[in-house]
Amino acid sequence: MSESRFLPNFEPIAPFSRLTDSGILDSGESPMSDDAVLEALRYMMLTRVFDDKATSMQRQGRFGTFSSVRGQEASVVGAASALDPTKDWIVPQYREFPALIRHGYPIENFALYFMGNPKGGTIPPNVNMLPMQISLAAQIPQATGLAWGLKMQGGDGVVITFFGDGASSEGDFHESLNLAGIMKAPVIFFLQNNGWAISTPRENQTAARSFAERAIGYGVEGVMVDGNDLLAVHEVTKQAVAKARAGRGPTLIESVTYRTGAHNTADDPTRYIDQQELEKWQQKDPVERIKNYLRSRGIWNENLEQELLDSCAAQIDAAMEIARNTPLATSDALFDHVYAEPPQRMLDQKRDWANRNGDAR
Ligand SMILES: Cc1ncc(C[n+]2csc(CCOP(=O)(O)OP(=O)(O)O)c2C)c(N)n1
């Protein structure tokens, strides 16, 4: 066939990037100031410290099942650093610790959540985020609805929702993109393609050559970005935020990265991950890459690294101390924070529960 009627062609496409694997910037101008990069790197380092702490807490039986961000730090922080916490909203999945902390969610709440204390799920009133979502893709329609609502209220806030390649196979993802495209809702669908949905590899998730291109079917712009390149992720997210703020609708960002840790603390990836593939991605470690970039700018050295590590460790320790000293929840806390104004049937259930449980512990 010389002239095919069929779309599209399937030539491989490369993600947008700004840094080489060893952290050298291309010939253009950096989209982030040195101070902004340093701040972002601190969030990435803070995440590593927290991930190690949380994993060890889980091993001691003091934390529930926990999913680390390992390997995806540039992806999450690059996206979050393009947001204005005073007006933009985050609608998370469960692997976005640094984005939530930068937005104002207290680390101790995050810890309490994994300690099974409902207090952890409470979001301070000035923090623009919805709760973490474990049921895959269930948050995506909410992000579209929230963005559409913000638009109707006449403000210029933007919503970003995070999810994985696995979640993108759920109907919720497709329905949300479709509606967001029609309504020109100010929402960014931030799909972290980390290679895996637990043990299901990316190639079993879709026959499409990219996840980003799925946007086209909904009249939405899509972009594929190197998720281990902080500068590139920040740049495309910033563009998507500016576009949404200006009333020009949603964007699907596919952030191509790799989960270099386990899916969560209940997973053993050595049973299914190819060691060579893992090592290839470890060479592109996002934290080392951005440190190399700062080294090439002459502003990174061992003293600064130690200083940052110490301050991250102190910050995590202080938050853990608060979480440890928070009284255990009584079981009637189950009924709190479910409705702003609890309906009568819930008040009845709460009273019955208290009558049956004495002090309701
Ligand atoms: C609706 C639903 N189905 C199945 C699961 C079980 N489950 C939890 S995480 C996961 C894989 C998710 O992979 P992905 O969306 O790529 O995100 P990642 O964890 O890799 O960041 C599955 C299948 C779930 N939580 N929710």
Q: Which pLDDT score, from 0 to 100, does residue 54 have? A: 97
d(CA 186, CA 245): 7
d(CA 252, CA 210): 11
Ligand 1: distance of its center to the CA of 200 in Å?
Answer: 10
Q: Taking 50 as the threshold, does the pLDDT of residue 1 lie above it? A: no
C-alpha distances out from residue 21 to 186, 209, 273, 288, 294, Å: 32, 22, 22, 10, 14
Q: Which pLDDT score, from 0 to 100, does residue 146 have? A: 98
Q: Taking 60 as the threshold, does the pLDDT of residue 55 lie above it? A: yes
CA 314 to chain centre: 24
Ligand 1: distance of its center to the CA of 116 in Å?
Answer: 20
Average pLDDT over every residue of 307-336:
94
174 is catalytic: no
d(CA 108, CA 53): 13
Q: Which pLDDT score, from 0 to 100, does residue 361 have? A: 45
Average pLDDT over every residue of 8-14:
82
339 is catalytic: no
Q: Taking 70 as the threshold, does the pLDDT of residue 68 lie above it? A: yes
5 is catalytic: no
List all residues whose CB is within 6 A of at least one atom of ligand 1: 95, 134-136, 163-167, 192, 194, 196-198, 259, 263
Domains and CATH numbers, the chain: 34-329 (3.40.50.970), 330-361 (no CATH)
Question: What is the model's pTM?
Answer: 0.95
pLDDT-derived band at 73, boundaries 50, 70, 90: very high
Ligand 1: distance of its center to the CA of 7 in Å?
Answer: 31
Q: Taking 90 as the threshold, does the pLDDT of residue 61 lie above it? A: yes
Sign of CA pseudo-dihedral 350, 356, 358, 361: negative
Q: For residue 206, give the amino acid letter.
A: T
